[in-house]
Structure 1
Amino acid sequence: MRVTPDRAARPTPSGRAERAAEKVAELVESVPPGSRLGTKEELRTLCGVSVGTFNEALRLLQSRGLVTVKPGPGGGLFSAEQSPMVRLGNSVLALDTQANDVADAVRIRDALDPLLIEDALWHASPADIAGLRRHIAAMEEAKDAADPVAFVHANWRLHAAIAATSPNALLSSLYTHLLDLIERHTLTVLPASDQPLGEYIAHRHELHRDLVDALDRRDRDEALRLIHEHNTTLQAADARAAHG
């Protein structure tokens, strides 16, 4: 069947969601932070899209830290307030609240990583390694889709899976709680240096892939070297020293 020009140019659902998100983003830029934009139905009608398409647009807007949703009378969509920030390597986490708590959680998580890598070297089974590789594949998909939020969430799931291999229930539970706290308050991921965020994410994907390979080989020296390189707290300290 021959495709007519009109049909060939018809936007895809993801394209319609992106355009709806852009329209709401323009509205956000025109009002002060914290301003009420309208109800979901009012904004969906303004964008002229279906409920499903607007829900996808809303997901994009929330992942970019542009809007917040408040329930109840007087609720609806609001332009996001100024987001607190926490440094994570060469990227920045834009948070909803509790910046100090998240910064502390990142620092403690980084300190615990070598302990969990030591446990994984001894206790990760072939099935555990296969599960880690599935998380690496999810990180690769997010990298290829240029979706930094999905990437960091997949990254955190990988680390939670590494923690789950530890026989130390207290250590594993503490680490998982820290990841939950960080994930719960993260809105989006932004570049923090001259290095493009895409390049940084590609490097982090390669580092984690190599780390899982080292765990599979039971290569302790390489695994510990990589987790040291992985340490975002040390990266931030190195960056401050370089510019001091």
Structure 2
Amino acid sequence: MGGPRFEPVRAVRAYERVVEQIEEAIEGGTLCPGQRLPSERELMVQFSVSRSTVREALRVLQARGLVRSRPGDPHGAEVLPFSPAALHKSMTTLARVAELSLAELVQFRMVLDSSAILLAARLRTDEQLAEMDTAVIRMRAAVEAGGDDFGACDVAFHDAVARASGNKLIQICTDVVRSIVLDLISEKIAGAPDGEALMRQSIRHHEEVIAAVRTGDGPLAARLTRQSMYDYYAGYVPPAERAALRALLE
């Protein structure tokens, strides 16, 4: 017999409805960071649910980084300010279960970082340019000292660029994507036989980018950033997926 095939429906648990309503109140601004939810007892009355249902909902909200609930606290759970930790956790989970490939993550980082440097070239202050210069100087010193601190100095450079872009969402996303990508390939980077040569090449790339930023040439700075990221990461991406990265090159 023809016709559509339907899947069994999933019963929605009471605690999920509690979570949905509280999330909507936070997202809609009815509940703001620093405010407290009603007490457990009051939530039981308002939602007409059991104490165990309220506590399960609070556990979920806390796991998502939306509230902080202390056992035995007579007051209601505190609404927390937005944190990139929740975004980091979600994207890390996606990467771990292969919903996001390394190629997609690297491609997204190429887009983000090149956009950040384009904005930085046009909007940066002299102080922010000096921060980028200082980060590269520290990168060079780290190579001379054995390279242990090179990664941290490189992060400082990209953080300075993200701040100079003036866009908080770019700052958050670049930090999250960078850390996930590095987590995925950290062992391969550590085992690279030509580590020092790669670090020196990275410094040259950074110096070229800073020169473009100094003259306000955003398109050049962005193009150099995409190329340098391709040069650094393409070798870690399966050959069949590298076309996705090359599509961003000019």
Q: TM-score, normalised by structure 2?
A: 0.48
Greater C-alpha Rg: 2
More strand by share: 1
Q: TM-score, normalised by structure 1?
A: 0.49
